[in-house]
A = this chain, B = another copy of it.
Amino acid sequence: MTEVQRLRDQLRAFAEERDWDQFHSPKNLAMALAGEAGELLENFQWLTEEQSRHPAPEVLAAAGEEIADVLLYLIRLADKLGIDPVAAADRKMLANAAKYPVDKARGTAKKYTEL
């Protein structure tokens, strides 16, 4: 069992014990994930990019909490949809490698449709 599967199972047990499956529709979980992504964003909104590369300890701690929240909702949402998130990420990595060949994408942030 991988660590993502372990978290998935712990989240299942957590929700079952609390009778929370009724609230955990994919719609609601996608909202909760986006809400946490918004909170994550707020940690960096007034920092320069350079400052964000060297965050203060309290920013780092706060960002870590939001990263955890996003990951947990992501694993829970994927479980409810019957999606393996790591397999989906692997497929996406392959697709990205094809969309952004090294020789064309090197040093540019352009979208693949503009390369």
User: Residues of A at under 8 Å CB distance from B?
Assistant: 2-4, 7, 10-11, 14, 17-20, 22-23, 25-28, 30-50, 52-53, 55, 60, 63-65, 67-72, 74-75, 77-78, 80-83, 85-86, 88-93, 96-97, 100, 102, 105-107, 109
Contact = CB atoms under 8 A, between A and B. Distances in A.
Contacts of A55: 26, 81
B44 A31 contact: yes
B32 A34 contact: no
Contacts of A30: 31, 37, 40-41, 43-44, 52, 63
Contacts of A82: 60
B68 A70 contact: no
Contacts of A64: 81, 83, 88
Contacts of A41: 30-31, 34-35, 38
7 contacts: A20-B109, A23-B109, A25-B53, A26-B52, A32-B42, A34-B38, A70-B70
